[in-house]
A and B are shown apart, each in its own frame.
Chain A
Amino acid sequence: MSNKKLHDLTTQVRRDILRMVHKVNSGHPGGSLGCAEFLVALYTNIMNRKEGFDMDGVDEDLFFLSNGHISPVFYSVLAHSGYFPVEELNTFRLLNSRLQGHPTTHEGLPGIRIASGSLGQGLSVAIGAAQTKKLNKDSNLIYSLHGDGELQEGQNWEAIMYASAKNIDNLIATVDLNGKQIDGATDDVLPMGSIKGKFEAFDWTVIEIENGNDIEAILKGMATAKGATGKGKPVCVLLKTMMGNGVDFMMHTHAWHGKAPNDDQLESALNQNPETLGDY
């Protein structure tokens, strides 16, 4: 997909996110907006995906979302990637919807391979899927995405230790470094020091993407990450993003982590992101 099309799709995904959370007055727009460029790039230009969906995902790359609360961006990108009709975004968080508040396999939504929401579990799952790829002699890769605040959950460090010890080198785990969590800046809530230093101390290959909201930078960084696979070490991408990216009043604050815009705020936010591919 051309860069122009990627930008148009990202803008449309932003509109989807804003409209989804506004309609049900709940959900997590901040982190979703921050990861829009990354997930668009991942699903359109980076991952090797087959047509259709089956749970086993043999002979294709797989993605696991660990920080499940950014479900709006995940659902929008999955819909625009053809896993289910874009119109279904209209059912986000409604009763009887396949688009639950946090992603789940339980309602049979194509594109989802694990439930997430309770934080810190996705890296272990991604490692398991990577080990099955190796057993199946399937050379495709496992991608995963994690919040930075999520790294406060101890299970991550069990998984980080295990992945390097067991040479899980078909895994690219990306950490969304937006520096914010519900209660404030990660440096205020629980400072984590150098996340890069920590991953390196656990013997991972670390790739940094300084502007994680720039599609060209993402494509370049992820190509480097892909090139680092298959060399005996797991690969971590530190993706520096802006929470609430693309909506001026949602940026530079943690306030929109889990809050929906009101009618006026939605109008302002949508005006900043004019329709590109058509609203659902």
Chain B
Amino acid sequence: MKTYTYTEKKDTRSGFGAGLAELGRTNANVVALCADLIGSLKMNQFIDENPERFFQIGIAEANMMGIAAGLTIGGKIPFTGTFANFSTGRVYDQIRQSIAYSNKNVKICASHAGLTLGEDGATHQILEDIGLMKMLPGMVVINTCDYNQTKAATIAIADYDGPVYLRFGRPAVPVFMPEDQVFEIGKAIQLQEGSDVTIVATGHLVWEALEAAKALHEKGISAEVINIHTIKPLDDKAILDSVAKTGCIVTAEEHNFLGGLGESVARVLALNNPTPQEFVATNDTFGESGTPAQLMDKYGLNSTAIIEKALKAIARK
């Protein structure tokens, strides 16, 4: 079993900020927009280095999405930055018509996704955004797991021609993915090889899946862990290859089970290889105020929950 360690915890949004800053230096067509959340999105460095390529929109997300769509006409690659809630639900029709249906090369970059936004509570903790975005034809949906992966994904999506939703978060979490990784959209990463159960995790739940696999190993259970940063297009083959070995699966995400990664995986399995599946996700509910750790514990989104669901999945084989 591979050992994963970390020397520091960092927020994934800072990975976005670092990736955007690098793009500012390497790609003259990249422009950035923000709706009054520069500090929260860690966009300062890009702005300091490229003030003429940054657009402060003010608290007007609908206008931001439309302007981003317009900026693409003439060759710019706009990156919008605001919280996940204001990047999706608030502006769904603007994204649907002006970006997705119009096939505009806009990168919708969304921080503070999910419960780990914490104390601000349910008004800001969107748990439906993956579903909203993956339902839009042509939209790529990515949810990264740590600082390094978020930085790599930010850089990679500039080279992809088409609309992308990039989801990341607020809290400092272990940095365990390699700094020099090449980020391939739609390509799952196997973190642990195993034979008893497959754990497919995205975002902040990837580290929790590794912790769960370690604990399961101590119980004599061999868990395969897949880091599935891209929810759409989904790496069907990686999932099918894995369950062909393990015979059961747990999906783990910081999102409602309705519309999330788990449902996408369930569809692949139903069509190709019906397999017992358990879901680590929120259960059709809004969040609430609390610390990120308290919330992830209360709503069953941590390694403890993954272990429990893994045992349940194995029992159903």
Contacts and interface: CB of A to CB of B under 8 A. Distances in A.
Given A135-B53, A155-B66, A162-B58, A55 B94 contact: no
Contacts of A116: 97
Nearest to B96: A118
Chain B interface: which size bin? 20 to 34
A56 to B, nearest CB: 5
A93 B65 CA distance: 28
B97 A128 contact: no
A121 B103 contact: no
B160 interface: no
Contact of B57 (A114, A123, A162): A162
A132 B67 CA distance: 10
A17 interface: no
A275 interface: no
B271 interface: no
Contact of B71 (A105, A106, A131): A131
B15 to A, nearest CB: 27
B63 A155 contact: yes
Chain B CB count within 10 A is highest, among A118, A123, A124, A129, for A124
B285 interface: no
Chain A CB count within 10 A is highest, among B60, B69, B74, B97, for B74
A2 interface: no
Contacts of A155: 62-63, 66, 94
Contacts of A55: 73
Contacts of B64: 124
A191 to B, nearest CB: 23
Interface string B57-90: 1101011111111111111101000000000000
A58 B66 CA distance: 19
Contacts of B53: 135
Contact of A136 (B65, B69, B75): B75
Interface string A194-215: 0000000000000000000000
B102 A114 contact: yes
Chain A interface: which size bin? 35 or more
B14 to A, nearest CB: 27
A129 B58 contact: no
Query: Per DSSP, are chain B's interface residues mostly helix, strand or loop, or mixed?
Result: helix
Contacts of A154: 62
A160 to B, nearest CB: 9
Interface string A156-168: 0011011001100
Interface string B197-211: 000000000000000
Interface string A101-123: 00011100000011111100111
A125 B75 contact: no
A57 interface: yes
Contacts of B93: 118, 121
A122 B63 CA distance: 10
A124 B78 CA distance: 14
Given A121-B98, A135-B52, A128 B75 contact: no
B55 interface: yes
Given A55-B73, A135-B31, A135-B53, A128 B101 contact: no
Given A158-B58, A158-B60, 14 more contacts: A105-B103, A106-B103, A114-B73, A118-B96, A121-B66, A128-B68, A128-B78, A129-B70, A129-B71, A135-B76, A138-B74, A161-B58, A162-B57, A162-B63
Pairs A-B, 3 closest by C-beta atoms:
A128-B70, A124-B66, A132-B74
25 contacts: A57-B74, A58-B75, A62-B73, A104-B102, A105-B101, A113-B73, A114-B69, A114-B104, A121-B98, A124-B66, A124-B70, A125-B66, A128-B68, A128-B70, A128-B71, A131-B70, A132-B71, A135-B53, A155-B62, A155-B94, A159-B63, A159-B66, A161-B60, A162-B58, A162-B60
